[in-house]
């Protein structure tokens, strides 16, 4: 009895642990973190919620409609733009409004500002103000308030290559990076013109927009090197032709995985 009993007890505890993790109850053990979520108003088009990251259209940027504005604790001054999170409604905490076992992956495309009056986006809260389509993939229709959720960072899976949108004017060069895979969030970037052939460091101007004023890049093929927050680096050679114009978007064949 003794030797047979011990494995049975261990098996029971293992199955119980697996059940807890699959339900998303044990946030620390399974890698899920406690947070809360609301959603944007129904009268707002989810495709235009690029906000503080500068994505003019989240469909055009490669992110679809499953997006969210994140609180300052997650936004990190714009560094979180393009990052992906897997969210599930915490059914154990709110079985009335949460859909059991439902999950959705969202891209951070906007900032949810603090109101300094105890709001959900005030520090140190982790909060997601989701697009309406994303919210109702994990919560029941009719819930107009707030739901408890569990979230974790996941790799972004994008179709096609990284996108480069040329902005700015004259010798003020600003580029928006979008449709970035891997960790999705850009930590550093460099640009090189085909004429000057010198790598120049870019600075985050705001959100997903990076700029440099130290070199005139007009009428040159442009190459970029991008480093993500997770340390992965890719170089995109001559991804923008010399005939580029402000407002144009170019797509590479390379992508982070």
Give pLDDT tens digits for 141-186.
886 689 999 999 999 999 999 999 999 887 788 999 999 999 999 9
C-alpha torsion 123→128→132→136, nearest 10: -130
CB 51 within 8 A of CB 107: no
Q: What is the pTM of this model?
A: 0.84
Residues of the chain with pLDDT under 50: 1-29
Can you give the pLDDT at residue 219? 93
- CA–CA distance, 72 with 82 (Å, rounded to integer): 15
C-alpha torsion 196→200→204→208, nearest 10: 60
Helical (H) or strand (E) element with 123 = none
Query: In the numeric block, which tokens belong to residue 92?
Result: 């154990």
- CA–CA distance, 189 with 210 (Å, rounded to integer): 8
CB 186 within 8 A of CB 226: yes
Beta bridge partners of residue 68, listed in sequence order: 108, 130
Can you give the pLDDT at residue 143? 63
Query: In the numeric block, which tokens belong to residue 91?
Result: 């059914």
Closest CA to 139 of 195, 89, 212: 89
Residue the block writes with tokens 């970037």? 189
């Amino acid at each position: 009895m003794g030797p047979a009993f011990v494995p049975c007890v261990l098996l029971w505890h293992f199955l119980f642990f697996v059940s807890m993790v699959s339900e998303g109850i044990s946030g620390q053990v399974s890698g899920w973190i406690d947070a809360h979520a609301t959603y944007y108003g129904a009268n707002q088009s989810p495709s235009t919620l690029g906000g503080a990251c500068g994505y003019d259209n989240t469909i055009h940027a490669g992110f679809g409609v499953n997006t969210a504005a994140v609180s300052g604790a997650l936004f990190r001054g714009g560094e979180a733009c393009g990052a992906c999170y897997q969210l599930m409604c915490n059914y154990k905490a709110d079985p009335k409004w949460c859909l059991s076992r439902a999950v959705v992956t969202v891209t951070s495309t906007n900032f949810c500002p603090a109101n300094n009056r105890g709001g959900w986006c005030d520090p140190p809260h982790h909060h997601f103000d989701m697009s309406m389509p994303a919210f109702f993939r994990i919560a029941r229709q009719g819930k107009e308030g707030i739901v408890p959720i569990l979230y974790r960072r996941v790799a972004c899976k994008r179709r096609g290559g990284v996108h480069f949108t040329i902005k700015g004017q004259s010798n003020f060069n600003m580029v928006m990076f979008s449709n970035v895979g891997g960790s999705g969030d850009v930590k550093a970037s460099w640009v090189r013109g085909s004429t000057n052939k010198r790598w120049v460091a870019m600075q985050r101007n705001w959100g997903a927009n990076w700029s440099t004023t130290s070199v005139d890049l007009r009428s040159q093929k442009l190459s970029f090197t991008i480093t993500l927050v997770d340390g992965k680096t890719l170089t995109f050679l001559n991804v923008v032709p010399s005939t580029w114009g402000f407002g144009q978007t170019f797509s590479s064949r390379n992508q982070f995985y």
